[in-house]
Structure 1
């Protein structure tokens, strides 16, 4: 049977002999994968099919060392790795990076991953190689999805239910493949029919949602040899989300409607592996502040209509120790705010914003004695531009007219060139012990929100801090100097992999208090006396994460992952915003034949090192207990469990602040975590 590769790395190096040694950490299928020879580094992965139920695949990040998720709602999870989040983290779903429509990241990159069709969520641990993506300053995360396979007829039906919030998921996929043609189809239906409650029996609203995803892939075999993979495939996905709450943001999701198409191919030409793809996205998004939440009589009704188009293209060539590639990522964004009760009100939030990147990379990897070295370089050229904007109240509000005229009269076209350089080394002392060294210089461009948000608003890409911001067109590229040191020690019964890291970032982009009189006056008209402006500052992040496993007995093992991250400004005495607090996850696992069980303790420390600049509130530490048990047969699986067994009440530091009035949580109060949650999940495979 012809087996298809599951990632760009394996596509590019398909002809290279690699050996993989996985060690399974628990019944959630967490893997630490070491690839020797032509390895691309160390990856951690978690499989959704055997994990506890998730409404959004981003929740799986909580099981990986150094990773976390900024949750602004049940289907709005933003990836964080070692304190960096949002656009700084390269996030690929099915090998592509395509833009969402929402200016506040309601449709995050990971929200486009199908639960039923995802094989794993993979994170490059440490410094990401240049081949893993265009912008990897904050690491690289990939959702590996099932591909249409030749000579195979198979399928799966899966479902889950969570009692807290009456959340359910039903998914199905099927593959029909002959020698020359293969077809894969899948669908997901996710519903949250009630608001979730906290450990203190407080209702968090709105946290309902309705999400549907359908897709498929058709693949044609171009090879007549069993030893060579050559094919062309076309894939399609449609996503529809309606009536979904995002309580940490000023609006909720009315709808998200997105169509994506991808054409890809893999070939062998004169012993070179050639891989390419072209992907296109068309996304439309509506959001408002009155359909899912209470609108106070003193508040104005607002509706935001947003859309985006995106293109992602890549071609790579791999032979022996070398890998070369070209990338193009193009996008355009529009966002208009209106008032359903006042036809005259109209604001261009973003108008014709173009955000384009052209890139090329080269990577070399080779064993030299006991060392395996990987060296890479990537050149990136960024081009951004935007059309003129209008505001219906510019005629009656001088401050808004000043900002509008200033923006329209400015040269909005920006052009910058960045360079990434990466050195990753692994020294194999013996079969059990290896040392890890990583050095890098990486650059990243500002997001379109940071550059072109012209009037004080909260369209910030999901910061969820309740502040209003304006952008700055001429922001410099962020430049990071990264260092990682680590080790891996593995025996038959024990393995441990600690890493320490240091990330010094010049021209780090974050909000600072605005001193512009027009900005301050415009913000005061909207009730904010302290507006922010995106600016370049100096920052650094450092810390440690560790993954470990110990086999207690034939049927028992303990796994652990822990992380500590410190993020701070270097230009002033302050901390960075929304940094994950120190955390330890410890699990006791039982496996006997088809039976499995797990008791898990999660301890999260207080986060007192917060950003004073962004008025960030501290959070207290807490501990949770989760239990699960299941039976995994050859063709079916059934598992049940309880999360937050003792119904602990706690504040989730990464979940932002409540923006909804009239509920159990006060407006501006820290978002609380979900209370006791009993669940059941099952699947049938054929």
Structure 2
């Protein structure tokens, strides 16, 4: 019996035996362009997931349920968002409509790692081309998340909240979360917290060491709303300690982040309102290669202390003009970074690999949207300037001849012009036509840019501080990089056909100046790289690329209690200047679920499939992966209005598989050999209880 048949049989066998609960979403609220399933909805313009209802450790994992999206995973809580073939800094991610400044040069504290799942109310992916007002830089897409801080309520101040706990047997993953809210119609005070803890994760071929974690997330907020004026003040803390990242050269020892923000909205007249947002955060980040994983020789011990800090702002006015809306605003991101590498066994060893880094983005935008007789139109234009700079660097404590070569690289970098800037214009057009009451067509066209990251520019010494690429290669930066420009078109349709709803979209991106690593021609850098890693360096460079594909979400209501739903995603990326593929793109994948919803309980068995990925990047020495299928089952039972019980079984048939977007193992002493791709988890049982009051 093949895997598909086994998965289907197992799912159907368990189905009549289960008695879980999950709140039923009112299908009467479903619009013509929206596919609604339990805790999720897919519309023409966005995909929305209620993350707090998902049994997850990393909120980024929820992206696997979004058409067109996926996640590059370098550890249990280091998920890097991927959308339609672009990932990392190319995909803008906000927390309550403002971004986060990362602390580390290898994306260990990814934006979604700040959103602990049980206190994340929702994750929304803007489907297709992101509007120019969404974020200062959004060449690859836009994702917004929102903390679950509670709601306003009428009458006198009243207390509400939640207490919840979840446990997963694989790795003894414990999650505890709570929210306490005091609110009335105009005021809301809220405290939320989540604690996550886990040991090493097991796969069918052995344990992944290290893959443990410990994380605490807290948020204190006050909100005001009287109908014309709204305000949110918040302060938050993230403390992550001893978390394994086996696909990277070091593990997390500590991430200490403080976050502050304010959001204000004011309706000035019946047709005019303004809104403003400001946030600041600072991060202290420590990592090393000897505490959580098998330690190397004493001379190869490395520890890295990094800092990141900065602010983000947004100010816009919204005017209603005869059936149209005009939004005009300014926004910006100001970020600073520093990084120092040392060896605790060698007091003289020190590498200042990033010093006094500055990266500032300032933009102004205008966006006009109107409803016509049977269509809608959005026109957006953004002008932005990105300015970067870096201080002088140095290295010491290395024996000759490496020390001499490294000193020469540092002197060359320090003598170069490091103050750089890029000026560009983004443009987006979105058109939606209602063919019938059941069918909408969409056409989107956009041209967007991304300036180089600070790692792509200022990585002067061959290292693997690459924003989480995790390909095992050493890189050097390039002070002569141009910005990337993506010219994109999206075509889509959403249609209700009786009991079925279908929402496919196709896209094509032509990316001029795509930044990736190619073999370095810097002989000195190659000598240093070969001495350190055994291979010459790659240098970040501009190349030309194309990315195209399609994704679809669908649902079929079999009757009032049963429905089928699923997604399918395909992205293909290749260079057009040479014969090669783009690195770390998800293969063809999808899911098929069968859901039964009763008055107080529900169950969903599903099959997830991934095709083989043979379209890999030769320049990154990327390994191919085989296809696989997995069976999962999720249950939920609303025992009362206040009590919810949930359970999930992942990899029900205990398949052995390798996710193409999971990195290559870099840690010695694991059951998976260093240099092999990490394996997916074995059969995993999880359960949770959530109490609301």
Once the two structures are TM-superposed, the CA of residue 401 in structure 1 deviates from its matched residue by 1.6
SS in 2 for 1:131: coil
Q: Distance in 2 between matches of 1:481 and 1:267?
A: 36
What CA deviation, in whole Å up to 9, does each residue of 1:121-158 have, x standing for no partner? 10011111111111111000110223464435321112
Q: Distance in 1 between matches of 2:445 and 2:224?
A: 41
Equivalent residue, structure 1, for 2:19: none
Residues 574-601 of structure 1 show CA distances to partners (whole Å, capped at 9, x for unaligned) of: 0000000100110000001111001100
The reply to whether residue 195 of structure 1 matches residue 200 of structure 2 is yes
Residue 126 of structure 2 is aligned to residue 124 of structure 1: yes
Partner of 2:140: 138
Mapped pair 1:209 → 2:213: yes
Contact 1:364 1:375 in 2 (8 A): yes
Instruction: Give the aligned partner of residue 261 of structure 1.
Output: 260
Cα distance change, pair 261–283 in 1 and its aligned pair in 2 (3 A):
same
TM-score by length of 2: 0.92
Indicate how the Cα distance of structure 1 residues 390 and 125 shifts in structure 2: closer, same or farther if over 3 A, else same: same
Equivalent residues of 1:148, 1:219 under 8 A apart: no
Q: Quick check: 470-479 or 269-278, which moved more?
A: 269-278
Paired residue secondary structure (1:608): coil
1:121-200 equivalences under 5 Å are 121-147=123-149, 149-151=151-153, 153-192=159-198, 194-200=199-205
Distance 1:299 1:229, change over 3 A: farther
**How far did residue 264 of structure 1 move?**
1.6
Are residues 660 and 395 of structure 1, via their aligned partners in 2, closer, same or farther at CA, if it must alter by over 3 Å? closer
Match of 2:415 in 1: 409
Kindly state the Cα deviation for residue 628 of structure 1 after the two structures are TM-superposed: 2.0
Query: Given that residues 25 and 559 in structure 1 are in contact (C-alpha distance below 8 angstroms), is that contact kept between their aligned partners in structure 2?
Result: no
Deviation at 1:24, TM superposition (A): 5.1
Deviation at 1:370, TM superposition (A): 1.9
Which deviations, in whole Å up to 9, do the C-alpha atoms of 1:164-194 show, x marking residues without a partner? 11101100001101354320110000000x2
SS at match of 2:581: coil
Query: Looking at both structures, which has the greater relative contact order when contacts are Cα pairs under 8 Å and sequence separation is at least 6?
Result: 2
**Deviation digits for residues 13-48 of structure 1 (CA, Å, limit 9, x no counterpart):** xxxxx9966755433x120235xxxxxxx1101112
Instruction: Identify the match of residue 33 of structure 1 among 43, 57, 64.
Output: 43
Matches within 5 A, 1:387-466: 387-393=391-397, 396=400, 397-466=403-472
Contact map agreement 1:116 1:187 (CA 8 A) in 2: no
Give the equivalent residue in structure 2 for 1:580.
Answer: 586
Deviation per CA, 1:375-398: give whole Å up to 9, x if none.
001111001000000100478433
| Counterpart check, 1:306 vs 2:306 | yes
Aligned pairs (5 A) from 1:312-323: 312-320=312-320, 321-323=325-327
The residue that corresponds to 2:652 in the other structure is 645
How many residues are treated as equivalent by the alignment?
A: 653
DSSP 3-state at the match of 1:103: coil
- TM-score relative to the length of structure 1: 0.93
Distance in 2, matches of 1:184 and 1:311, equals 23
Any gaps of 5 or more consecutive residues in structure 1? Answer: 1-17, 35-41
CA deviation after TM superposition for structure 1 residue 415, in Å: 1.1
| CA distance 1:32–1:229, shift in 2 (3 Å) | farther
Higher alpha-carbon deviation: 550-559 or 630-639: 630-639
Output the CA distance in 2 between the equivalents of 1:614 and 1:229. Answer: 54
Say whether residues 1:665 and 2:672 are aligned partners. Answer: yes
Partners of 2:525 and 2:537 within 8 A in 1: yes
Is the contact between residue 468 and residue 528 of structure 1 (CA under 8 Å) also seen in structure 2? no
Q: For 2:525, what is the secondary structure of its paired residue?
A: helix
Establish whether residue 50 from structure 1 lines up as the match of residue 53 from structure 2. yes
The alignment status of 1:342 with 2:383, answered yes or no, reads no
Q: How far apart are the structure 1 equivalents of 2:348 and 2:298?
A: 19
How far does the alpha carbon of each residue in 1:211-257 deviate from its partner, in whole angstroms, 9 at most, with x for none? 00111111244x4xxxx241333101000000100000000000000
Out of 560, 569, 574, the position equivalent to 2:575 is 569
Shift, 1:528, TM fit: 3.0
Measured after TM superposition, the shift of residue 199 of structure 1 is: 2.3
Is 2:546 the counterpart of 1:544?
no
- Which whole-Å CA distance do the structure 2 matches of 1:253 and 1:61 have between them? 23
1:232 corresponds in structure 2 to: 231
Tell which deviates more after alignment, 432-441 or 228-237. 228-237
Query: Aligned to 1:136, what secondary structure does the other structure show?
Result: coil
Alpha-carbon separation, structure 1, partners of 2:195 and 2:296: 33
Instruction: Name 1:252's counterpart in structure 2.
Output: 251
Q: Which moved more, 1:202-211 or 1:289-298?
A: 289-298
Aligned to 2:688: 681
Residue 401 of structure 1 aligns to a residue whose secondary structure is helix
Give me the CA root mean square deviation: 1.6
Conserved? CA contact 2:299–2:346, under 8 Å: no
Deviation at 1:369, TM superposition (A): 2.8
Q: Identify unmatched segments of 5+ residues in structure 2.
A: 1-28
Structure 1 residues 268-277 or 75-84, which shifts more? 268-277
Displacement of 1:491:
4.1
Residue equivalent to 1:283? 283
Match of 1:10 in 2: none
In the alignment, the residues of structure 1 paired with residue 418 and residue 545 of structure 2 have an alpha-carbon distance, to the nearest angstrom, of 27
Establish whether residue 352 from structure 1 lines up as the match of residue 356 from structure 2: yes
Cα gap change, 1:191/1:229 in structure 2, threshold over 3 Å: closer, same or farther? farther
